Amino acid sequence: DTGVSQDPRHKITKRGQNVTFRCDPISEHNRLYWYRQTLGQGPEFLTYFQNEAQLEKSRLLSDRFSAERPKGSFSTLEIQRTEQGDSAMYLCASSPRTGSYNEQFFGPGTRLTVL
Amino acid sequence: DAKTTQPPSMDCAEGRAANLPCNHSTISGNEYVYWYRQIHSQGPQYIIHGLKNNETNEMASLIITEDRKSSTLILPHATLRDTAVYYCIDRPGNQFYFGTGTSLTVIP
């Protein structure tokens, strides 16, 4: 257990529904990252925050994906109008500092299945 | 986007050293090389990182070539619990780019 928690751990939804995932980072970490991982592939970077500021979001997969970190603590990732291709593991990570060294601590992930 | 290359799979006998290679020929001078591993159905776990010197910690050793174009992760005495996918990552800026990694199987 790295101290990063994600909720829910599993989500099954029907195509077209909206889903929201939550990530709680290690409390003193100011950076938070979201990744997506499909079967047989490594994690794919989506976006990251430094405190409440979203510093990189160009790699979000489409405008159906959005993320927030309103108070610089927990974060949510929302997928609107889900598609079957959105089925994947969604991983959150946090890191404690800026600069050249950046160890990321990953949560257990939320597995999304879109029917 | 991943700029590292790793063999897709490797086997290692339990108790022997596992040597996992990585090619990162396009790495720039100030980019660290990171190694993570992912055990089935879990989030990735940090192992070690380095810039240009060899590094060792309680989990592994990292050998980086002098030209920094490749590195080798060494698990000195592999156990069955080391069976996982191992990722070699470079980090341009604040993003990690994972490739498909090396699936290491430790054989009893």
The string of pLDDT tens digits covering residues B49-80 is 998 889 999 999 999 998 888 999 999 999 99
pLDDT score of A107: 96
Say if B30 is an interface residue toward chain A (CB within 8 Å): yes
Cα B6 versus chain centre, distance: 9
Say if A25 is an interface residue toward chain B (CB within 8 Å): no
- B2: pLDDT strictly greater than 90: no
Side-chain-side CA neighbours of A35 within 13 Å: the count stands at 24
More confident residue, B3 or B9: B9
Are the C-beta atoms of A18 and A82 separated by less than 8 Å? yes
* Confidence bin at B25 (pLDDT 50/70/90): confident
- State the Cα angle at A87 between A108 and A21, rounded to 5°: 50
Are the C-beta atoms of B46 and B57 separated by less than 8 Å? no
Are the C-beta atoms of A4 and A24 separated by less than 8 Å? yes
pLDDT score of B62: 96
- B34: pLDDT strictly greater than 70: yes
Low-confidence ranges of chain A (pLDDT < 70): 97-102
Write down the mean pLDDT value for chain B.
Answer: 90
Pairing of strands B45-50, A75-79: unpaired
* Confidence bin at B93 (pLDDT 50/70/90): low
pLDDT score of A103: 82
Give the Cα separation of A61 and A109 in Å (integer). Answer: 18
Of A45, A102, A107, the CB nearest to B97: A45
| Cβ–Cβ below 8 Å for B44 and A106 | yes
- B7: pLDDT strictly greater than 90: yes
- What end-to-end distance do the CA atoms of chain A give, in Å? 30
Query: Which residues partner with B90 through β-bridges?
Result: B33, B97
